[in-house]
Structure 1
Amino acid sequence: MDVPASLLMSSGMHAYVAVKASLHASDSSVFGLSEVETNALAKRFNNYRHDIVNGVLIKGHPINVVNALGELGYRVVGTTGEAEVVWTMQRDI
């Protein structure tokens, strides 16, 4: 039985991050970024960052944070939640 190409996983390496926030919030928690990526993201949001357990709090609407991570090479691969949403994002390394 042949497996469709669209179902095959790439053999490359990936990095994953998670963004957690409410769509009604003005800040977003981001988990899994490197220090360089954290600094680049903070620069996009007036250099505001607050370290939290296993991540960083960015003062920015979650959609803007997700879009900024997209500019760093990440893409959304999954979401979950209702009142508070978690976006799982992936980039090739």
Structure 2
Amino acid sequence: MESPNSTTNPNSLTNNVVTVPIPILPSEGTYAYVFVKGSLYAKDSAIFACSTDELQALSKRFQISTIPIDNGVMMKVAPSLVINSLSQLGYKVISSTGEAEIVWTLQREL
């Protein structure tokens, strides 16, 4: 006689186990994000989350120094020029929000 927990027994608890497959997502890359805040009419930009090397590259490109602000730096450069320079470092704009003052989110794959 078979035991009550046998896999051939239709009333066995092991037959009542439900398995839910978890979909395997394709491996996604790791990204870095930078935020640029400014106005299309202004000649200064706030930049957030740039690495020290990236900030040095921007400072050399525009031959100006950065002004520290909370969580970032301010540069006396139009946002469009900052965004174009960051694109040369591998960033691309993935979103923007605002009207008079806009925040652009840029992303680069690491």
> Where do 5+ consecutive residues of structure 2 fail to align?
1-24
> Where do 5+ consecutive residues of structure 1 fail to align?
1-7
* Matches for 1:1-93 after TM superposition, within 5 Å: 11-93=28-110
SS of 1:43's partner is helix
Give the 3 Å change call, closer, same or farther, for CA 36–83 of structure 1 in structure 2: same
Q: Is the 8 A contact 1:45 1:58 kept in 2?
A: no
Q: Percent identity of the aligned residues?
A: 51
**Paired amino acid for 2:86:** L
For residue 9 of structure 2, what is the aligned residue in structure 1? none
Higher strand share: 1
Q: 2:48 & 2:26 partners in 1: Cα distance?
A: 24
Larger-Rg structure: 2
Q: Considering Cα pairs closer than 8 Å and 6+ residues apart, tell me whether 1 or 2 has the greater RCO.
A: 1
Q: 1:62 & 1:12 partners in 2: Cα distance?
A: 27
Q: Is the 8 A contact 1:75 1:90 kept in 2?
A: yes
CA RMSD of aligned residues (A): 1.5
